[in-house]
Amino acid sequence: SQTIHQWPATLVQPVGSPLSLECTVEGTSNPNLYWYRQAAGRGLQLLFYSVGIGQISSEVPQNLSASRPQDRQFILSSKKLLLSDSGFYLCAWRHGPNTEAFFGQGTRLTVV
Amino acid sequence: DQQVKQNSPSLSVQEGRISILNCDYTNSMFDYFLWYKKYPAEGPTFLISISSIKDKNEDGRFTVFLNKSAKHLSLHIVPSQPGDSAVYFCAAKGYGGATNKLIFGTGTLLAVQP
């Protein structure tokens, strides 16, 4: 069966510090991978998605970047965090367009 | 530009009654829709989906209805249970060159009262 791992679960970082969140998927190959953010009181905002190694689509201009160095690994990064980067970050995968997405447990990021 | 909208931020229902969650979308090119349930500090879990070639899909207590002409879908939960209390998100698959996108609404907080 397929599983998705996302870590860390919580993170408190100072403004201006770097960020690296990692997501890995097991039990499948060539998944579509996604990073979403849920800000307080808001919906799920799509940040990045990837259909293959090295292929990243960016949805929202921001202080973040994403990379996919391996088929089942998706990384969300920032060189310098802003207060507005605080939120609940979710990684997800799915097989293709007409299938459901499966989410990780999320990372609560607080920038102080 | 919010392409998928859930205009009710919250809904309160008595246990055993029907819960109806609504979702509107702006783009008639969307052809696949999903509903998710989310508890605090957890990732969303998939509930049910529907393709635009159908107007209804049922899975146990959950039924999704799609009205393409109105660009509206709804999720019915019957009977509602206290464990159904959560935030519910609808989502739509992108179209054209963006079929791999999955666009979510803003969510509706459902509270089922015992």
Q: Which residue of chain A has the CA closest to B50?
A: A98
Give the count of alpha carbons within 13 A of A100, CB side only. Answer: 15
Q: What are A95-105's pLDDT values in tens digits?
A: 988 899 999 99
Does A7 touch chain B if contact means CB atoms closer than 8 Å?
A: no
Q: Write down the pLDDT at residue A31.
A: 95
Decide if A101 and B34 are in contact by the 8 Å CB cutoff: yes
CA of A21 vs chain B CAs: smallest distance (Å):
15
Residue A18 CB neighbours (<10 A): 10
Question: What gap in Å lies between CA A11 and CA A99, rounded to an integer?
Answer: 31
Q: What are B56-75's pLDDT values in tens digits?
A: 999 999 999 999 999 999 99
pLDDT band at A60 (very low <50, low <70, confident <90, very high): confident
Q: Which residue of chain B has the CA closest to A32?
A: B100
User: How far lies A69's CA from each of A24, A52, A55, B101, in Å?
Assistant: 11, 9, 10, 20
Decide if A43 and B42 are in contact by the 8 Å CB cutoff: no
Question: What gap in Å lies between CA A106 and CA B33, rounded to an integer?
Answer: 23
Decide if B43 and A44 are in contact by the 8 Å CB cutoff: no
**Mean pLDDT for the stretch of residues B89-112:** 90
CA of B26 vs chain A CAs: smallest distance (Å):
17
Decide if B89 and A98 are in contact by the 8 Å CB cutoff: no
**Mean pLDDT for the stretch of residues B79-86:** 98
